[in-house]
Chains A and B, each alone.
Chain A
Amino acid sequence: MNSTRLFPRPDPALLVLTSLADGPKHGYALMKDIEAFSQVSMGPGTIFGCLARLEERGLVRALEAEDRRHPYELTATGLAVLHEQLDELGRVTATSKARLRLARPARPNGGRASG
């Protein structure tokens, strides 16, 4: 089963905030970074729409333009929101992994654990 069809893609805002977590980036660098760490391809319409939304809510801010393009960086609020979101995701991930260990579901190869 293709799990990407079952579950929606990660939220673009979360991907952008994550990408900015290690320092400022402009739009194109954001796209490449997100592609590298999440295999999600985002077009300029999505990226700048997302940046506008985040900027409006004070989660990111534009820096001085370099060669006619603005790098964006996380604000303190953006950093706090990212921590909050990741904590929430972390709780779900931890719970899910713990329950998987307890349940030990049958594997396609006859239930034998590989590796």
Chain B
Amino acid sequence: MAEAGRTAPGAGGRATVPLLGRIAVACYPQWWRARYGDDQLSFLADLRAEGRSVARVLPNLMAGAAWTRLSGTGMPATPSVWRDRARTSVTASTLAAMPLVILGLYATNRGGYWSGNGRLSSAARVAEDAGNLVFPALTLVFVMLLFGWRILISQARELRPGEARRRYFAAMATPFLAVASGLGLWSLASHVNPGIVTGGSFKISPTTHRFYDVTLFVSPGDPRLVAFLHAAAIVCGFGGWLLAAVLVGRAAARRGPASARAIRTGVWLSRIGTGATVLLSLAISVYVAALALQPWHLVANHSCDDLPRALWAAGTCVPYSAPAGGAVLTGPLEGAAPIWIVLALACAALAVVGTRIAGTSARKAALLDAP
């Protein structure tokens, strides 16, 4: 029976494995594919040759790939492989913070407050405090990115002076230039169409001492120009941020010798960054949840109705109002708080898992390095 099993019918090669099957096998780590990749492809070829569905085993393969990446079962006892694993985990936990930064900035800009007589409801005060936590956490994440950038720059030392190095620096500078351009465009839009702030300044929560009543926009310039500037600012700012994420990921994915010291530093940076990420996700969750508890109703807001729709689209005017002392969420956040909370917590969980794996992998690499 054993001998019969050995010679499975239709022993095929890569050519007979469907594309999705090959993609699923490619999801396994490199060291795994080097060891079991051909075995798995032959398995799928045999499955197909017998007329069985390869699609049915794809979820099993994908789950196996995820588990192998998480557990590292069967990894060779080579320090460089474990250091690579630590480096990839640090990158994964850093990249998990990136969508949270965008979500944090977006969420805190979509809460429309309506102070009425100057007093906010309890939920709105909680939201205000949570929103204030977002910015310190964002700063921490940004500092982490700068450290990552420094590692990128240190790689340039390996390049020979000349065209290659110039191209490398140009690629690295692009996202920062894009983010800076976005900020500049936003300032320009505010200059073209300045807001008039009315209302009082008083303490509304333990962390917020000043609160402005209502911001109305006058329109001395062309509103379409303002809308264009806002849109360009958003594209540049977010585009630059995403490009930075791509470059950090590419740099980390580059295989090469990494010193034990660099890995140790990376793991510690990852721990700090993950702390900031968890804080950020909790702040966003509390902020979004607290605001979602606020009752709101659509009213004909005269200050919005008077403005062209182009300005609405750019987010300069909130076409809702809430009862006095309340606050509302607008845009895609409205009514979708659970989704945003799940997204925020999932990013934080990914960062925590990545950091934990990075720590254990670095320790294992150090053990294997020891004489």
| Chain A residues within 8 Å of B, Cβ to Cβ | 22-33, 43-49, 51-53, 55-56, 65-71
Q: Are B42 and A67 in touch, CB under 8 angstroms?
A: yes
Within 8 A of A (CB), among B317-356: none
Interface presence of B38 (CB below 8 A): yes
Q: Are A48 and B1 in touch, CB under 8 angstroms?
A: no
Could you show 26 A-B contacts with beta carbons less than 8 Å apart?
A23-B1, A25-B2, A27-B42, A28-B42, A28-B43, A29-B6, A32-B5, A32-B8, A33-B1, A43-B57, A43-B60, A44-B57, A45-B61, A45-B65, A46-B64, A48-B43, A49-B64, A49-B67, A49-B68, A52-B35, A52-B73, A53-B74, A56-B74, A68-B13, A68-B39, A68-B42
Interface presence of B46 (CB below 8 A): yes
Complex contacts, B41 vs chain A, CB 8 Å: 68
**Chain B residue at smallest Cβ distance from A20:** B2
Contacting B43 at CB < 8 Å: which of A22, A44, A49, A65?
Answer: A44
Known: A26-B8, A28-B46, A71-B6. A55 touches B38 (CB 8 A): no
| Chain B residues within 8 Å of A, Cβ to Cβ | 1-3, 5-6, 8, 11, 13, 32, 35-36, 38-44, 46-47, 57, 59-65, 67-68, 73-74
Distance of B256 from chain A, by nearest CB (Å) = 26
Q: Are A27 and B61 in touch, CB under 8 angstroms?
A: no
Q: Are A52 and B74 in touch, CB under 8 angstroms?
A: yes
Q: Are A44 and B38 in touch, CB under 8 angstroms?
A: no
Complex contacts, B2 vs chain A, CB 8 Å: 22-25, 29
Q: Are B47 and A53 in touch, CB under 8 angstroms?
A: no
Complex contacts, A45 vs chain B, CB 8 Å: 57, 60-65, 67
Distance of B157 from chain A, by nearest CB (Å) = 38
Complex contacts, A49 vs chain B, CB 8 Å: 64, 67-68, 73
**Chain A residue at smallest Cβ distance from B4:** A29
Complex contacts, A32 vs chain B, CB 8 Å: 5, 8
